[in-house]
Structure 1
Amino acid sequence: MFECFFQGIQQDIKLFLFSPVLSAIFRLIFIKVYQPYPSLKGRGKALRECFRFGFWWGMDFNAYVFLASMVLVSLPSLFVGFFQQYGLELRIFLGCLYGAILYTAFAGKMIFYHHFHDTFNYLVHMGRNAEKHNLVDVFFHQDHGGWILLGYLLYIPFVGVGCWLFQQLPSLPAPHIASSLAQYVLTAGLFLLAILGFYWVRYGGTLNHRNKPEWDTIPSLVKEDAFLARACVDDLVALKWVRRKPLAEEMQHSDEELEQSISRLLPAGSKWQPQDNPLQLFRRTARGPVIRKPSQVFVIVGESVPQWALDPLYADLHILDATKDWIADPHTAYLKNFLPTGNISRPSIVSLMSGIYDAQLELNEMESFWQGQTITSFAGQMKKLGYRTIYWYGGNASNGNFNHFGHAQGFDEVRSATDFCGPDAPRTWVGIYDHVFLTEAAKQMETIEEPTFHFVYTTSNHGPYKIPMDVLGGDPDEMLKDVGPDIRENEERRKAFSTARYADRAVQSFIRKIQTRFPDALILYTGDHSNLYGDLSNSSLVPRDYMYRELYCTPLLVHQRDIGQGFFGENTIGTHLNIMPTVLEMIAPQGFTYYSLYPSLTLPQPAGLVTPKQWITPLELGEVASGLVEEVKEADREGTKKHEPDNKMWRQLSSDMTSLTAWVVRHADKCLDHDVR
Structure 2
Amino acid sequence: MKRFNNFIIGLQQDLKAFAFLIILLMVFRILFLLVFKSQLAGVATVDIVATLWYGFRLSLKTAGLMVFIGAVFSTIVQLLLPCWPAAKIRRYWHSLVVCVFTILFFARIPYYKIFNSGFNMMLINGIHDDWQAILATGVEEYQLLLRLPLAFAVAAVLIYFLLRLLRTKNWSAVKQTGTAVSLPEKTFAVTTKKMYCACAALVVFLPLFFVFIRFGASFNYAGSISWENAARLNSNLLNEAVLDDGQALYRVYISNRCLRETAGTNLTQAEIVKQISILGGDPQAATIEQAFSKKVVQAKMQQKPQQIVMIMGESYGVWPLLPEFVQLGLAAESEKLLQSPHSASVNTFLAHGTGTMPAINGYLTGLADAYLYENYQPESYKTGYATGLGKMMKDLGYKTVFWYGGFKDWQNLGDFVLAQNFDEFRCADEIKYAEGDAWGCPDEALFEHIEQYIGEHREEKIFHFIMTTSNHPPYTIDVAAKGFDKERVKNMLPDSIAGDDETLNELGHFWYSDHVMGLFVQKVEQKIPSALFIITGDHSERFSFKRAEDLRTLSVVPMIFYGQGVEKDWFQANKVGCPIQLIPTLMEMLGQPGQEYASILPSLFDEHFNKAFNHRLWACDGTLGELDQIDKQELPADQSKVLQKAQDIKKMALAAKKVTAWRVLKGNAIKIRQ
**TM-score when normalising by structure 1:** 0.59
What is the letter of the counterpart of residue 455 of structure 2?
Answer: E
What is the letter of the counterpart of residue 549 of structure 1?
Answer: R
Inter-partner Cα distance in structure 1 for 2:553 and 2:468: 21
Show the 5 A alignment for 1:305-316: 305-316=316-327
3-state SS of the aligned residue for 1:396? coil
- Find the counterpart in structure 1 of residue 443 from structure 2: 434
- Find the counterpart in structure 2 of residue 369 from structure 1: 380
Query: What is the CA-CA distance between 1:620 and the residue it aligns to?
Result: 2.8
Question: 2:403·2:425 contact (CA, 8 Å) conserved in 1?
Answer: yes
Inter-partner Cα distance in structure 2 for 1:485 and 1:340: 26
3-state SS of the aligned residue for 2:310? strand
Inter-partner Cα distance in structure 1 for 2:325 and 2:207: 40
Q: Which runs of 5+ in 1 are unaligned?
A: 1-63, 81-88, 116-125, 135-241, 538-543, 634-642, 672-677
How big is each residue's C-alpha offset from its partner over 1:144-163, in whole Å with a ceiling of 9 and x where there is no partner?
xxxxxxxxxxxxxxxxxxxx
- Find the counterpart in structure 2 of residue 662 from structure 1: 661
Inter-partner Cα distance in structure 1 for 2:617 and 2:496: 32
Q: Work out whether 1:490 is the aligned partner of 2:493.
A: no
Q: Work out whether 1:451 is the aligned partner of 2:454.
A: no
Inter-partner Cα distance in structure 1 for 2:331 and 2:593: 37
Show the 5 A alignment for 1:359-398: 359-398=370-409
Inter-partner Cα distance in structure 2 for 1:451 and 1:610: 32
3-state SS of the aligned residue for 1:446? helix
Query: What is the CA-CA distance between 1:499 and the residue it aligns to?
Result: 0.8
Inter-partner Cα distance in structure 2 for 1:469 and 1:668: 47
How big is each residue's C-alpha offset from its partner over 1:493-525, in whole Å with a ceiling of 9 and x where there is no partner?
110011110110111111111111111112111
What is the letter of the counterpart of residue 256 of structure 1?
Answer: T
Counting aligned pairs with the same residue, the percent is: 25
Inter-partner Cα distance in structure 2 for 1:337 and 1:390: 28
Query: What is the CA-CA distance between 1:666 and the residue it aligns to?
Result: 1.9
Of residues 219, 242, 267 in structure 2, which corresponds to 1:255?
267
Inter-partner Cα distance in structure 2 for 1:532 and 1:129: 17
How big is each residue's C-alpha offset from its partner over 1:6-49, in whole Å with a ceiling of 9 and x where there is no partner?
xxxxxxxxxxxxxxxxxxxxxxxxxxxxxxxxxxxxxxxxxxxx
Of residues 590, 595, 598 in structure 1, which corresponds to 2:593?
590
How big is each residue's C-alpha offset from its partner over 1:91-118, in whole Å with a ceiling of 9 and x where there is no partner?
x9xx99xx979x979x99xx99999xxx
- Find the counterpart in structure 2 of residue 536 from structure 1: 545
Show the 5 A alignment for 1:403-414: 403-414=414-425
3-state SS of the aligned residue for 2:492? coil
- Find the counterpart in structure 2 of residue 653 from structure 1: 652
Deviates more, 1:644-653 or 1:476-485: 644-653
Show the 5 A alignment for 1:176-215: none
What is the letter of the counterpart of residue 584 of structure 1?
Answer: M
How big is each residue's C-alpha offset from its partner over 1:364-408, in whole Å with a ceiling of 9 and x where there is no partner?
122331232111121112112211111111122331112111111
Query: What is the CA-CA distance between 1:296 and the residue it aligns to?
Result: 1.1
Query: What is the CA-CA distance between 1:355 and the residue it aligns to?
Result: 0.9
Q: Which runs of 5+ in 2 are unaligned?
A: 1-71, 89-194, 234-253, 637-641
Q: Work out whether 1:480 is the aligned partner of 2:479.
A: no
Of residues 546, 551, 554 in structure 2, which corresponds to 1:548?
551
How big is each residue's C-alpha offset from its partner over 1:416-465, in whole Å with a ceiling of 9 and x where there is no partner?
1331x22x442221121111110121111112112111111111111111
Question: 1:476·1:498 contact (CA, 8 Å) conserved in 2?
Answer: yes
Taking a change above 3 Å as real, the CA distance of residues 411 and 488 of structure 1, as seen in their structure-2 partners, is same
Query: What is the CA-CA distance between 1:76 and the residue it aligns to?
Result: 7.3
Taking a change above 3 Å as real, the CA distance of residues 243 and 267 of structure 1, as seen in their structure-2 partners, is closer
- Find the counterpart in structure 2 of residue 327 from structure 1: 338
Question: 1:258·1:659 contact (CA, 8 Å) conserved in 2?
Answer: no
Question: 2:498·2:545 contact (CA, 8 Å) conserved in 1?
Answer: no
Inter-partner Cα distance in structure 2 for 1:599 and 1:113: 43
3-state SS of the aligned residue for 2:319? helix
- Find the counterpart in structure 2 of residue 513 from structure 1: 523
Inter-partner Cα distance in structure 2 for 1:451 and 1:129: 34
Inter-partner Cα distance in structure 2 for 1:281 and 1:112: 51
Taking a change above 3 Å as real, the CA distance of residues 565 and 347 of structure 1, as seen in their structure-2 partners, is same
Of residues 567, 570, 575 in structure 2, which corresponds to 1:572?
575
**TM-score when normalising by structure 2:** 0.60
Taking a change above 3 Å as real, the CA distance of residues 113 and 259 of structure 1, as seen in their structure-2 partners, is farther
Taking a change above 3 Å as real, the CA distance of residues 378 and 404 of structure 1, as seen in their structure-2 partners, is same
3-state SS of the aligned residue for 2:609? coil
Question: 1:264·1:653 contact (CA, 8 Å) conserved in 2?
Answer: no
Query: What is the CA-CA distance between 1:566 and the residue it aligns to?
Result: 1.0
Inter-partner Cα distance in structure 1 for 2:389 and 2:635: 29
Show the 5 A alignment for 1:608-619: 608-619=611-622
Inter-partner Cα distance in structure 1 for 2:361 and 2:498: 37
3-state SS of the aligned residue for 1:598? coil
Deviates more, 1:599-608 or 1:428-437: 599-608
Taking a change above 3 Å as real, the CA distance of residues 272 and 522 of structure 1, as seen in their structure-2 partners, is same
Inter-partner Cα distance in structure 1 for 2:281 and 2:528: 43
Taking a change above 3 Å as real, the CA distance of residues 265 and 462 of structure 1, as seen in their structure-2 partners, is farther
Question: 1:336·1:555 contact (CA, 8 Å) conserved in 2?
Answer: yes
Of residues 622, 627, 641 in structure 2, which corresponds to 1:624?
627
Taking a change above 3 Å as real, the CA distance of residues 280 and 385 of structure 1, as seen in their structure-2 partners, is same
- Find the counterpart in structure 2 of residue 402 from structure 1: 413
Taking a change above 3 Å as real, the CA distance of residues 656 and 131 of structure 1, as seen in their structure-2 partners, is farther
- Find the counterpart in structure 1 of residue 140 from structure 2: none
3-state SS of the aligned residue for 1:250? coil
Question: 2:342·2:565 contact (CA, 8 Å) conserved in 1?
Answer: yes
Inter-partner Cα distance in structure 2 for 1:261 and 1:128: 38
Question: 1:364·1:402 contact (CA, 8 Å) conserved in 2?
Answer: yes
How big is each residue's C-alpha offset from its partner over 1:96-144, in whole Å with a ceiling of 9 and x where there is no partner?
9xx979x979x99xx99999xxxxxxxxxx975444779xxxxxxxxxx
Query: What is the CA-CA distance between 1:560 and the residue it aligns to?
Result: 2.2
What is the letter of the counterpart of residue 598 of structure 2?
Answer: Y
Query: What is the CA-CA distance between 1:337 and the residue it aligns to?
Result: 0.5
Question: 2:493·2:499 contact (CA, 8 Å) conserved in 1?
Answer: no
Of residues 345, 350, 354 in structure 1, which corresponds to 2:361?
350
Taking a change above 3 Å as real, the CA distance of residues 243 and 410 of structure 1, as seen in their structure-2 partners, is closer
Inter-partner Cα distance in structure 1 for 2:548 and 2:328: 18
Inter-partner Cα distance in structure 1 for 2:318 and 2:634: 16
3-state SS of the aligned residue for 2:474? coil
3-state SS of the aligned residue for 1:301? strand
Inter-partner Cα distance in structure 2 for 1:301 and 1:286: 25
- Find the counterpart in structure 2 of residue 270 from structure 1: 282
3-state SS of the aligned residue for 1:299? strand
Inter-partner Cα distance in structure 2 for 1:486 and 1:617: 27
Q: Work out whether 1:281 is the aligned partner of 2:281.
A: no
Inter-partner Cα distance in structure 1 for 2:450 and 2:650: 41
Query: What is the CA-CA distance between 1:359 and the residue it aligns to?
Result: 2.8
Taking a change above 3 Å as real, the CA distance of residues 450 and 548 of structure 1, as seen in their structure-2 partners, is same
3-state SS of the aligned residue for 1:270? coil
Inter-partner Cα distance in structure 1 for 2:631 and 2:327: 31
Aligned residues: 458
Taking a change above 3 Å as real, the CA distance of residues 271 and 614 of structure 1, as seen in their structure-2 partners, is same
Taking a change above 3 Å as real, the CA distance of residues 417 and 394 of structure 1, as seen in their structure-2 partners, is same
Query: What is the CA-CA distance between 1:358 and the residue it aligns to?
Result: 4.0
Question: 1:263·1:272 contact (CA, 8 Å) conserved in 2?
Answer: no
Inter-partner Cα distance in structure 1 for 2:268 and 2:376: 26
- Note the aligned Cα RMSD (angstroms): 4.4
Question: 1:335·1:555 contact (CA, 8 Å) conserved in 2?
Answer: yes
3-state SS of the aligned residue for 1:509? helix
